[in-house]
Amino acid sequence: MLVYLVVSILSTVWITMAQNQPGVPEEKDKTSTALKEGQLRHIKTGQPYVFNYHEDLHRWNQKRYEALGEIITHCVYELLENECHLKKVYLPVDATEGEPKSFIFMSEDAITNPDKLMVLIHGSGVVRVGQWARRLIINEDLDSGTQIPFIKRAMDEGYGVIVLNTNENYIEVEKSKKQVQSPANETDEPAEKKEKKDDSQKETNKRRDFYEKYRNPQKEKETKHIPIRDNGTPEEHTLYVWDHFISRSSAKNVVFVAHSYGGLVFVELMIQREAEVKSKVISVALTDSVHNVWHQEAGKSILDWMQEHCRNWVSSSEPLDTPVEFMLPDCPRVSAGTERHELTSWKSFHSIFKYFTQALEAQNTEAKSKSTVTTRSSYRKKSEDL
């Protein structure tokens, strides 16, 4: 399981970092605690992750945290493939060799499933495909911090699944080194005084470089960003996936789960592809969405559709599913049963699937009603002809 894989790598990260730091003390002696399924624990002590491992070295601690985050990201990718049996699909679909690429994850039947499809969109920041919140993965567990429970339940209930990767918008490459020439010294200082000053500056630079190296385990490099074609922003990425995958899927019933900035991205998709979205999407679950229909200039037809087909589970001290008043007339808001923004998706997990089930039942009832009306109309016409 991931917990053992991650703690093993985490232990290696700690040891490697310690060995690379001059004067870093030995591993702290901590009381061991029992491992729990899906929680991140140190492989030797069993203790949870501690950010402030060196109290006087915030930058070092931050770099260590970022390194762990990268490891976790790749571990989640492996889980999506090995446990959820999703496949990685690269974007753009017509990318040339060597061109910057992004990717999404899809179930085998995402395009061919004739009944229903679920699309998952995370929020902004460092999270990547399959994650809701890195903080929860590190400090809580996999269930609350990743989209894996949503994916597994969706597949158990017969959904095809597409998982978006809206923050993978560019590749980062190191800039080529440039020679920097020191400005000529035009002072008329005596040679002896100048030599002493140079020696003093060299000693100062040496101490500074040593201290910076100690504080910063990863050497800073100048980098530049190369955008991924047609996927340079979360909005572009979502539109691209809609045009090339979701809109071409066979599913009659498409549902979305969108967290935080993912809600804004969905509203933008509606603005750009309103007719198409209305023809395929039957229900949208937002979790503490940060969309704003006034700033995004959503028209009345979109607002009316959102009132009927969207629900936003927001951070609140009220019990789960309690209606929450809000000034904007876009969609109903209910409590997610938590005041923590990053936990809203996990806390509303069961309510979201219940909401989708009700939407599907309503859709099926409406389809049967239309079928009955059509049949009666055809029978009446046939009788009149006779």
168: containing domain = 84-173+215-386
pLDDT computed for residue 34 by the predictor: 44
DSSP β-bridge partners for residue 146: 131
Whether 67 maps to a domain, the answer reads yes
If pLDDT is split at 50, 70 and 90, which confidence band does 177 have? low
Report whether pLDDT(184) > 60: no
Asked whether 159 and 196 are in contact (CB, 8 A), the reply is no
If pLDDT is split at 50, 70 and 90, which confidence band does 191 have? low
Q: Smallest Cα–Cα separation from 256: which of 359, 146, 175, 341?
A: 359
Report whether pLDDT(31) > 80: no
What whole-number distance in Å separates Cα of residue 68 and Cα of residue 12?
Answer: 10
- Same domain assignment for residues 246 and 379: yes
Q: What tens digit of pLDDT does each residue of 316-330 get?
A: 999 999 999 987 788
Whether 108 maps to a domain, the answer reads yes
Q: What tens digit of pLDDT does each residue of 113-142 get?
A: 999 999 999 999 999 999 999 999 999 999
- Same domain assignment for residues 8 and 149: no
User: Would the pTM count as exceeding 0.95?
Assistant: no
| Higher per-residue confidence, 9 vs 293 | 293
Whether 323 maps to a domain, the answer reads yes
- Same domain assignment for residues 137 and 236: yes
- Same domain assignment for residues 243 and 139: yes
Whether 191 maps to a domain, the answer reads no
Asked whether 298 and 271 are in contact (CB, 8 A), the reply is yes
Please provide the average confidence, as pLDDT, over all residues in the chain: 82
DSSP, res 255: E
- Same domain assignment for residues 131 and 14: no
Please list the active-site residues.
Answer: 260
Report whether pLDDT(218) > 80: no
- Same domain assignment for residues 163 and 226: yes
pLDDT computed for residue 5 by the predictor: 41
pLDDT computed for residue 365 by the predictor: 84
Report whether pLDDT(183) > 60: no
Residue ending a domain, among 63, 83, 103, is 83
Cis peptide leading into residue 92 (ω within 30°) = yes
* C-alpha dihedral (353, 359, 360, 365), degrees to nearest 10: 150
Whether 180 maps to a domain, the answer reads no
Whether 250 maps to a domain, the answer reads yes
What is the arithmetic mean of pLDDT over 88-114? Answer: 97
- Same domain assignment for residues 44 and 158: no
CATH of residue 280: 3.40.50.1820
Report whether pLDDT(70) > 60: yes
Report whether pLDDT(101) > 80: yes
Residues 6+ apart with CB under 8 A from 137: 40, 72, 76, 131, 145, 146
Whether 202 maps to a domain, the answer reads no
Report whether pLDDT(180) > 60: no
If pLDDT is split at 50, 70 and 90, which confidence band does 12 have? very low
- Same domain assignment for residues 300 and 343: yes
Residues across the chain: 386
pLDDT computed for residue 152 by the predictor: 98
Phi then psi dihedrals of residue 311, to 5 deg: -145, 140
- Same domain assignment for residues 9 and 155: no
3-state secondary structure at position 284: strand
Whether 185 maps to a domain, the answer reads no
- The token pair that represents 115 in the structure block: 């009944």
Q: What tens digit of pLDDT does each residue of 365-376 get?
A: 877 777 665 555
Amino acid code (one letter) for 179: Q
Residues 6+ apart with CB under 8 A from 285: 255, 256, 257, 258, 310, 311, 313, 348, 352, 355, 356
Our count of domains for the chain comes to 2
- Same domain assignment for residues 11 and 157: no
- Same domain assignment for residues 44 and 94: no
- Same domain assignment for residues 71 and 88: no
pLDDT computed for residue 294 by the predictor: 86
